[in-house]
Amino acid sequence: MLLFRWTVLLLLIAAGVCFAFYIGTGQMRFRTWGIVILKWTVLAALGFFAVLILERVI
């Protein structure tokens, strides 16, 4: 559980940093990386909640 929490937190921070770099520099590659990282963050969060639901069911 702790691993999932840290993964989601670190991915959110990384996406935020990428978007901040995009705002600061205007380079599209940072926006693209931010969107990709944010997509993986959503997938990690869904995995986290799936584990929580399975723990309740079992």
Count of C-beta atoms within a 10 Å radius of residue 4: 16
| Per-residue pLDDT at 2 | 84
The residue type at 5: R
> Does pLDDT of 1 surpass 80?
no
pLDDT in tens, 3-57: 878 888 999 999 999 999 999 999 999 999 999 999 999 998 898 899 899 999 9
Q: What is the pTM of this model?
A: 0.81
| Per-residue pLDDT at 58 | 85
**Domain limits of the chain?**
2-57
The whole-angstrom distance between residue 39's C-alpha and the CA centroid of its chain comes to 7
